[in-house]
Amino acid sequence: MSNGYWGKIMRVNLTDGTIGTETPPEQFYRAYYGGRGLIAYYLLKEVPPGTDPLGPDNRFIVAPGVVTGVPYAGAGRNSYGALSPLTDAYGEGEGGGFFGAELKRAGVDAVVFEGASAKPVYLYVHDGEAELRDASHLWGKTTGEVEELVQEELGDKRVRVAQCGIAGENMSRLAAVCNDLTHYAGRAGLGAVMGAKKLKAIVARGTTAVPVADADKVRELARWMVEHWNESSQGLHDHGTASGLVGLSTSGGLPTRNFQQGHFEGAEKISGQTMTEKILIDRDTCFACPIRCKRVVKTGPPHNVDPKYGGPEYETLGSLGSLCGVDDLEAVAKANELCNAYGLDTIGVGVTIAFAMECFENGLITKEDTGGVELRFGNAAAMLEMVEKIARREGFGDLLAEGSYRAAQKIGKGAEQYSVSVKKQEVPMHEPRLKHGLGVGYSLSPTGADHCHNIHDTGYTKSVGSAAGWGVLEPMPADYLGAEKVRLLMYNTIMKSANNCMVICQFVPWRLEHLAGLVEGITGWNHTHFELMKVGERAINLTRVFNLRQGFGAAEDTLTERFFEPFKDGPLAGARVDRDAWQKAKVTYYRMMGWTDDGVPTPEKLHELGIGWAIDYLPADARREAGA
Residue pair 173/164 in contact by the 8 Å Cβ criterion: no
CA–CA distance from 5 to each of 136, 279, 463 (Å)?
34, 42, 38
Is position 211 within any domain? no
Q: How confident is the model at residue 128 (pLDDT cuts 50, 70, 90)?
A: confident
Smallest CA-to-CA distance from 18 within 120, 154, 130, 128 is with 130
**DSSP state, residue 447:** T
Strands (E) located in 1-138: 9-13, 18-22, 60-63, 78-83, 90-95, 110-114, 121-126, 129-134
pLDDT in tens, 25-57: 999 999 999 999 999 999 999 999 999 999 999
Q: What is the CATH number of the domain that holds 383?
A: 1.10.569.10
Res 238: pLDDT: 92
Cβ 44 vs Cβ 542: under 8 Å: yes
Position 1 scores a pLDDT of 58
Cα angle: 61, vertex 352, 427; to 5 degrees: 65
Cα(179)–Cα(194) distance, integer angstroms: 13
> CA nearest 414: which of 354, 376, 371, 362?
362
**Is there a single domain that holds both residue 370 and residue 450?**
no
Half-sphere exposure of 196 (CA within 13 A, CB side): 26
Contacts 24+ apart (CB under 8 A), 592-596: 592/486, 592/487, 592/490, 593/490, 593/537, 593/540, 593/541, 595/544, 596/625, 596/626
* Greatest distance between any 2 Cα atoms in the chain: 66
CA–CA dist 541, 501 (Å, integer)? 13
Cα 533 → chain centroid: 20
What phi-psi label fits residue 165: left (phi over 0), alpha (psi between -120 and 50 degrees) or beta?
A: left
Tell me the CATH number at 485: 1.10.599.10
Indicate the burial class of 462 (C-beta count within 10 angstroms; 0-12, 13-18, 19 or more). Answer: exposed
Identify the band that residue 356 occupies on the pLDDT scale cut at 50, 70 and 90: very high
Report the C-alpha gap between 526 and 361 in whole angstroms: 60
Give 5-34 as a DSSP string: --S-EEEEETTTTEEEEE---HHHHHHH-S
Q: Which of 172, 205, 238 is the last residue of a domain?
A: 205
Q: Which DSSP category does 432 fall into?
A: T
* Residue 302 preceded by cis peptide, ω within 30: yes
Range of the structural domain that residue 289 is part of: 229-426
Residue 210 lies in a domain: no
In a domain, 307, yes or no: yes
| d(C-alpha 624, C-alpha 628), whole Å | 6
The tens digit of pLDDT for each residue in 244-303 reads 999 999 999 999 999 999 999 999 999 999 999 999 999 999 999 999 999 999 999 999
Q: What pLDDT, on a 0 to 100 scale, did the predictor assign at position 520?
A: 96
Percent of the chain with pLDDT over 70: 100
Q: Which residues contact 295 (CB under 8 A, 6 or more apart)?
A: 240, 275, 280, 283, 284, 310, 311, 312, 313
CATH code for the domain in which residue 29 is found: 3.60.9.10
Q: Is 422 in the same domain as 440?
A: no
Work out how many domains the chain is built from and give that number: 3
Contact in structure between 256 and 66 (CB atoms under 8 Å): no
HSE (CB half, 13 Å, CA atoms) of 98?
16
- Element housing 334 (H / E): helix 329-342
Do 260 and 563 form a contact (C-beta atoms < 8 A)?
no
Q: Is 23 exposed, middle or buried (0-12, 13-18, 19+ CB in 10 A)?
A: exposed
Q: Is 7 left (phi over 0), alpha (psi -120 to 50) or beta?
A: left
Which of 89-93, 470-474, 588-592 is the least confident region? 470-474
- Do 524 and 416 share a domain, yes or no? no
Whether residue 443 sits in one domain with residue 410: no
d(CA 597, CA 136): 51
Digit-coded pLDDT (tens) for 134-185:
999 999 999 999 999 999 999 999 999 999 999 999 999 999 999 999 999 9
Q: Do 85 and 129 share a domain, yes or no? A: yes
Q: Is 595 helix (H, G, I), strand (E, B) or coil?
A: strand
Which pTM was predicted? Answer: 0.97
What's the rounded Cα separation, in Å, for the pair 575 and 368? 37
Per-residue pLDDT at 424 exceeds 80: yes
Q: How many residues does the chain have?
A: 628
If asked whether residues 258 and 363 sit together in one domain, one would say: yes
247 and 291 assigned to the same domain: yes
- Please write the tens of the pLDDT for every residue from 510-556: 988 899 999 999 999 999 999 999 999 999 999 999 999 999 999 99
Tell me if 84 is assigned to some domain: yes
Which distant-in-sequence residues (6+ apart) come within 8 Å of 620 by Cβ?
none
1, part of any domain? no
User: Residues with Cβ < 8 Å from 215, sequence gap 6 or more?
Assistant: none
Contact 146, 201 (CB under 8 A): yes
Q: 163-167, 286-290, 333-337, 422-426 — which is least confidently predicted?
A: 286-290
Q: Is the dihedral of CA 328, 329, 330, 334 positive or negative?
A: positive
What does the pLDDT average to over 104-126? 97
Q: How far apart are alpha carbons 33 and 42 in whole angstroms? A: 13
Dihedral angle sign, alpha carbons of residues 495, 499, 500, 501 = positive
Task: Please check whether residue 223 lies inside any domain of the structure.
Answer: no
Q: Report the interhelical angle of 483-502 vs 529-549 (nearest 10°).
A: 90
Q: Report the alpha-carbon distance of residue 546 to residue 44 in Å, rounded.
A: 6
Residues 81 and 196 in one domain: yes
Instruction: Count the helix, strand and coil residues of the chain and give each as a percent rounded to the nearest 5.
Output: 45, 15, 40
Q: Confidence band (pLDDT; 50, 70, 90) for 578?
A: very high
**How far is residue 113's CA from residue 164's CA, in Å, rounded to a whole number?**
14
Residues with Cβ within 8 Å of 530's Cβ and at least 6 positions away in sequence, in order, are none
- Do 470 and 410 share a structural domain? no
For residue 466, the model assigns a pLDDT of 87
In a domain, 222, yes or no: no
Asked which of 189, 205, 221 is the last residue of a domain, the reply is 205
β pairing state of 177-179 and 160-163: antiparallel
Q: In the predicted model, what is the mean pLDDT of the chain?
A: 96
Judge if 118 and 252 occupy the same domain: no
**Alpha carbon distances (Å) from 578 to 253, 298, 563, 572, 585:** 17, 44, 9, 14, 11
- For 230-282, the DSSP string reads HHHHHHHHHHGGGGGHHHHHHHT-S-BTTTTBS--TTGGGGSHHHHHHHTEEE
Number of H helices, E strands in the chain: 24, 16
Please state the separation of Cα 281 from the chain's center in Å. Answer: 27
Domain end among 205, 221, 239: 205
Same domain, 37 and 101: yes
For residue 387, tell me if it sits in a domain: yes
Assess whether 500 and 451 both reside in one domain: yes
Residue 628 has pLDDT above 90, yes or no: no
CB 69 within 8 A of CB 57: no
